[in-house]
Amino acid sequence: MQIGKSIYLDYQATTPLDPRVREAMEAYSGDLFANPHSLQHVLGQQSAVAVESARTDIEAFIGASAEEIIFTSGATEANNQAIASVLFSNNSRRNKILISAIEHKCIKNAAYYFAAKLGAVVEEIPVLPSGLIDIQAYESMLSEQVLLVCVMAVNNEIGSIQDIPRLAKLAHDYGALFHCDAAQAPEAIDINVKQWQVDMLSLSAHKVYGPKGIGALYMKNALQASLPPFIHGGGQQFGMRSGTVPTALCVGFATALNISKQQAGETRRKLASMKQRFINNLSQLDIDFRLNGSQESCHPGNLNVEFVGLDAIAMLESMQPEVCASTGSACNSEMVQPSHVLKAIGLSDSQAISSIRFSLGRYSDENQIDHAVQVIRKTINSFQLESL
> Which residues are 72's β-sheet partners?
215
298 catalytic, yes or no? no
Read off the amino acid at residue 85. S
Q: Measured between alpha carbons, how far is 176 from 172 in angstroms, rounded to an integer?
A: 5
Q: Which is the catalytic residue, given 106, 150, 324, 331? A: 331
Q: What are phi and psi of 2, to 5 degrees?
A: -120, 125
CA–CA separation, 100 and 87 (whole Å): 18
Q: Which amino acid is at 388?
A: L
**Residues annotated as catalytic (active site), given as ranges:** 331
